[in-house]
Amino acid sequence: METEIEFANECVLLNSLRRSDSQWIIKVLLIQCGVVKEFKNKINQGLRWTLIFVDEEGTKMQAILFTDQVNMWKEHLEQGSIYYIINGRINDRKPNFQSVHKEFEIVHTCILVKVNASIGDGNRKRREIALMNERCDRQTVTLWGEIAEKDGDMLQNMIFEKPIVVLCNVKGTTYRGNFVISTTHVSSVMINPSFEKAIALQNWHNRMKLQDKDITLMPSRLIKNARKVKIGDITHADSFDNTKDTYRKFNTKIKYIINKDDPWYLSCNKCYKKVSLVDNIATCPRCGSNVEYEERYLLKLELFDEKEHCYITLFEATKYLLGCDVKTYVRSISQKKEESKYYRKLVSSKDKEFTFLVKLDPRIGGDRTGRSLIAEELHEVGKVDAIEIEDDEIKAAKTIKKIKQIEEENDASINHKRIKIEKD
DNA sequence: CCCCCCCC
């Protein structure tokens, strides 16, 4: 295969290959296949295919195939397989473009729990997914460009099996106080890979499934660690400190379910605003007509905690109350809603006590009368506290203890060797 | 020989 390889950094060039080498062979794992794209400029036109490989030392490199090579290889190369590349052309790394190899590389191994619809076209195409780890922390990831197109579609088709997803060379950004991970042009996505951490997570997930536990309904570390308050502490607060600690939880009864018959709406995929349907054409008040849309939960509740009452809105969090995703719910009530176990669960939640998690918005202060809160998460009272909290301090202490133990063992073995040598 | 920091 004749191909162009852009190396990540010069070390690789020195260690395993030199640009001047005319004959070489390298063993690589294909970790990311792009989408075959057509290109056209003043001089050339044809097909382009971007691949990302990793060698046995863990160094990543990008390879580009052009028209003839694309046609020759497109049916044969497979993500996750091992190949030998023989005698490719090696280019220097181009400083204006992203390097495949990062000085700091974060690898995320998580369970896929949600895939949103994709938005936009070409390089602007994006698709949000949600991942979860063994501590039930949710993490939103935005897939971009070819990864949104190819891997995103693959993930959407697999969402019901909740595969393990590994992300390499992704970047983190903060938007409105939320940490969001985004893919870049050098990111790679692996689905159900066979390395230790991924298998351990898969085993954990299998154990949960055997206990009939849906991990997407389990209390997250966020709600476990959130500061516990009364409703009045939130509704009567003049303003909120602009700190990182913006989550609060409170226990309260559901006094009234305001829209129990239609706890969802048709939402614009791009901006989440409610679309209106006329002759099957959806119009979004913000994005215009003929937009893509899907059902989205929206449940409004009135709460009462003996002292205060307030209104709260549940979007995605409705799932915690009903136990299923919105599409399953809508399907379940399409015939006789009284026969839907999810509908019955919704109705029976009235007068029950729940722990609600809300996020404080530092921009909103003062008079909040009439303004409803938005729930991030909720569980029946007792379910949150029942689970043992292993906070970071305890974990850190354990790690230190472990390290000391290992050091002592090493010391002992070193001493033992010394003794042995002396005896000899 | 191609192409790059996007969006709510």
Residues 63-122 of A with CB under 7 A from strand B: 64, 66-67, 69, 91, 94, 97-98
* pLDDT greater than 80 at residue A408: no
Task: Give the nucleotide at minimum CA-to-C1' distance from A98.
Answer: B4
Check residue A381 and give its pLDDT.
95
Å separating the CA of residue A204 from the C1' of nucleotide B8? 33
Check residue A276 and give its pLDDT.
94
Check residue A364 and give its pLDDT.
54
Weakest-pLDDT range from A1-15, A169-183, A385-399: A1-15
Weakest-pLDDT range from A62-76, A99-113, A247-261, A341-355: A99-113
* pLDDT greater than 50 at residue A419: no
Domains and CATH numbers, chain A: 1-86 (2.40.50.140), 108-216 (2.40.50.140), 219-263+298-386 (2.40.50.140)
Check residue A107 and give its pLDDT.
86
* pLDDT greater than 80 at residue A94: no
User: What is the separation of C-alpha A110 from the centre of its chain, rounded to a whole number of angstroms?
Assistant: 7
A267 falls in which pLDDT band (50, 70, 90)? very high
A13-40 mean pLDDT = 79
Weakest-pLDDT range from A75-84, A294-303, A342-351: A75-84
A282-295 mean pLDDT = 92
Check residue A246 and give its pLDDT.
84
Check residue A121 and give its pLDDT.
85
Check residue A205 and give its pLDDT.
96
- Chain B bases near protein Cβ (<7 Å): 1-8
Check residue A195 and give its pLDDT.
86
Weakest-pLDDT range from A4-8, A192-196, A220-224: A4-8
A172 CB and strand B closer than 7 A: no
* pLDDT greater than 60 at residue A392: no
A146-175 mean pLDDT = 93
Task: Give the nucleotide at minimum CA-to-C1' distance from A173.
Answer: B5
Q: Which residue is nearest to nucleotide B6 (CA to C1')?
A: A124
Task: Give the nucleotide at minimum CA-to-C1' distance from A46.
Answer: B1
Rounded percentage of chain A residues whose pLDDT exceeds 70: 81
A174 CB and strand B closer than 7 A: no
* pLDDT greater than 50 at residue A90: yes
* pLDDT greater than 80 at residue A188: yes
Answer whether 0.85 is exceeded by the pTM. Answer: no
Average pLDDT, chain A: 84
